[in-house]
Amino acid sequence: MNKQVFGLIGLGVMGQNFVLNVERNGFAAAVYNRTAEKTKKYVEGVAAGKNIKPTYTLEEFVGALERPRRIMLLVKAGVPVDAIIQQLVPLLDKQDLIIDGGNSCFLDTERRARELEARGINFLGMGVSGGEEGALWGPSLMPGGSREAYKEVEPIMKAVAAKAEEDGEPCVTYIGPGGSGHYVKMAHNGIEYGDMQLIAEAYDLLKHTLELSAQEFHDIFAEWNKGELSSFLIEVTANVFKKMDGDTGRPLVDVILDKAGQKGTGKWMSENALDLGAAIPTITAAVDGRILSAQKEERVKAASILSGPTKKYNGESAQKLIDSVRDALYASKICSYAQGMNLLRKASEEYKYNLDLGTIARIWRAGCIIRARFLNDITNAYNRNKDLTNLLVDEEFKKAVSTRQEAWRLVIKCAIELGIPMPAVSASLAYYDAYRSERLPANLIQAQRDFFGAHTFERIDKPGIFHADWDTS
Ligand code: 6PG
């Protein structure tokens, strides 16, 4: 009997759709889920009549697959991944391959890769981005682990991945060893947090200044989606404003509680950036923004205690402000991606991932949540100079930011005057201003450190390490 070429464990929506995608592309699949009813419902429902074999025990699942087996896990990150690996491994043969397609922490992936390698089992930690739709019609895939193991599934992954509009290239590439695939996915998600926060701040400023309706917001974002901001998240935002709430007849967005959730990938990125000594202030501001938003009860109380400016907006014309916010958003976005790419560069050195930043930008062009026209510009910047130290110093991005600088500062001034928080937009501008500063006030910090702790300092006029006797003037 012919065996199936691809196995998937975990029939959540992502898993269900991913298998449909695999099968549609001509690969016979076997599926297993912890609860049998889900498997049954799936194969009798959307998967009916397709070459997708249901299995109800792990033994049956493993037995249904051709060797070396290709098994992908799409289960909740954390303990469930270890649990399923533990059950699976005794049933596998050497050279079989396990792919973890969840949002696992890259450090867990490093550990699992080591443990499995010691037992002769191949392992890939693969970032999968694009949500339910992406899983079904083409996600962006970020596989990391052994290159040979990736070769075993490369044809399948190339077939199921999203294809970039510009050149039809599949949005998947071998990322690098160990946990690099999940590392890159983590960075993708942190950048996703940054994009979402920046968009939310743009909305907030326009809402408070111009008191726009949901329809007007829809029109603005739809318009922005035609230009340099053109991206999945701007498109999603435009569409959000169209949705009305059946219960109240109001725009749904207006009745949604202002408490943002998070599953941890953005936070991991900020933690890791601190560990590696990389500055990612825009992304960290986005994580902080979610944390502050979640403290709703505290904020409601504080709102009745603390005061801010009371004046109303009476600045530029509505159109000028809208255009300025668009420019501020784009300039901030460039800073955010510059930070994200920088962190990848640092991680590549630190963990010996050997990441190709231009190629990573290329596989984010379609399928994933941060897909955007702008990713082509990043790819082009790395094509111009593969060792680019920071996107901001690329000729094109330098121009893009400097032509928007005035608008960017105007927007932040307006936010400060009116007391509207724009932490990510402000952090982006501060990053830009710090990065372009030949001299920062760290000389004073060094003096303070040496003053109270004899931490020493360097001088601008001669080499060496110095300590001053601060008691004598
Ligand atoms: C993707 C997304 C996805 C992520 C969600 C929710 O690339 O498809 O990044 O993997 O899980 O966007 O993330 P939070 O719950 O942390 O917002």
pLDDT tens digits for range 210-256: 999 999 999 999 999 999 999 999 999 999 999 999 999 999 999 99
Q: For residue 449, say whether it is annotated as part of any ligand binding site.
A: yes
pLDDT score recorded for residue 316: 87
Residue 162, in any domain of the structure: yes
Residue 1, in any domain of the structure: no
Distance 262 CA to ligand 1 centre (A): 8
Does residue 1 register a pLDDT over 80? no
pLDDT score recorded for residue 160: 98
**Could you tell me if 160 and 255 lie in one domain?**
no
Residue 357, in any domain of the structure: yes
Distance 266 CA to ligand 1 centre (A): 9
Catalytic residue among 23, 169, 185, 228: 185
Distance 219 CA to ligand 1 centre (A): 26
Nearest CA to ligand 1 atom 9: 189
CA of 185, closest atom in ligand 1: 7
Of 119, 143, 178, at which residue does a domain stop? Answer: 178
pLDDT, average across residues 91-106: 98
The best mutation among 75, 103, 363, 365 to test binding of ligand 1, ranked by most ligand atoms within 8 Å of the C-beta, falls on 103
Q: For residue 290, say whether it is annotated as part of any ligand binding site.
A: yes
pLDDT, average across residues 402-414: 98
pLDDT score recorded for residue 2: 86
**Confidence at 473, pLDDT banded by 50, 70, 90:** confident
Residue 359, in any domain of the structure: yes
**Could you tell me if 379 and 446 lie in one domain?**
no
CA of 130, closest atom in ligand 1: 8
The best mutation among 17, 192, 262 to test binding of ligand 1, ranked by most ligand atoms within 8 Å of the C-beta, falls on 192
Which residue is it, tokens 């098994």?
A: 71
Percent with pLDDT over 70 in the chain: 100
Q: For residue 10, say whether it is annotated as part of any ligand binding site.
A: yes
**Could you tell me if 218 and 141 lie in one domain?**
no
Give the pLDDT confidence of 290-334 residue by residue, as tens digits.
Answer: 999 999 999 999 999 999 999 899 988 999 999 999 999 999 999
**Could you tell me if 417 and 453 lie in one domain?**
no
**What's 11's domain CATH number?**
3.40.50.720
Choose among 199, 188, 154: nearest CA to 361.
Answer: 188
CA of 134, closest atom in ligand 1: 8
Q: For residue 455, say whether it is annotated as part of any ligand binding site.
A: yes
**Could you tell me if 152 and 285 lie in one domain?**
no
**What's 457's domain CATH number?**
1.20.5.320
Q: Rounded to 5 degrees, what are φ and ψ at 127?
A: -70, 135
User: Catalytic annotation on 223?
Assistant: no
pLDDT, average across residues 343-360: 97
Nearest CA to ligand 1 atom 14: 262
Of 146, 178, 210, at which residue does a domain stop? Answer: 178
Residue 289, in any domain of the structure: yes
| b/e sequence 316-338, b meaning 16+ C-beta within 10 Å | eeeeebbebbbbbbbbbbbbbbb
Average model confidence (pLDDT) for the chain? 97
pLDDT, average across residues 164-183: 96
Of 178, 210, 234, at which residue does a domain stop? Answer: 178
**Could you tell me if 148 and 237 lie in one domain?**
no
Give the pLDDT confidence of 115-131 residue by residue, as tens digits.
Answer: 999 999 999 999 999 99
**What's 271's domain CATH number?**
1.10.1040.10
CA of 196, closest atom in ligand 1: 17
Q: For residue 202, say whether it is annotated as part of any ligand binding site.
A: no
Ligand 1 pocket list (CB less than 6 A): 103, 129-131, 189, 192, 261-263, 265-266, 368-369
**Could you tell me if 109 and 250 lie in one domain?**
no
**Could you tell me if 410 and 430 lie in one domain?**
yes
**Could you tell me if 272 and 376 lie in one domain?**
yes
Distance 206 CA to ligand 1 centre (A): 26
Domain of residue 464: give its range: 442-473
Percent with pLDDT over 90 in the chain: 98
Distance 72 CA to ligand 1 centre (A): 19
CA of 131, closest atom in ligand 1: 8
Q: Rounded to 5 degrees, what are φ and ψ at 46?
A: -60, -25
Does residue 419 register a pLDDT over 80? yes
**Could you tell me if 456 and 352 lie in one domain?**
no
User: Catalytic annotation on 165?
Assistant: no
Residue 398, in any domain of the structure: yes
**Could you tell me if 390 and 287 lie in one domain?**
yes
Give the pLDDT confidence of 188-200 residue by residue, as tens digits.
Answer: 999 999 999 999 9
Distance 260 CA to ligand 1 centre (A): 12
Give the pLDDT confidence of 427-437 residue by residue, as tens digits.
Answer: 999 999 999 99
Catalytic residue among 110, 169, 192, 201: 192
Residue 393, in any domain of the structure: yes
pLDDT, average across residues 59-85: 98
Q: Backbone dihedral region of 292: left (phi > 0), alpha (psi from -120 to 50 degrees) or beta?
A: alpha
pLDDT score recorded for residue 383: 94
**Could you tell me if 172 and 199 lie in one domain?**
no
Residue 353, in any domain of the structure: yes
Q: Domain total for the chain?
A: 3
Q: For residue 188, say whether it is annotated as part of any ligand binding site.
A: yes
**Confidence at 376, pLDDT banded by 50, 70, 90:** very high
pLDDT, average across residues 129-135: 96
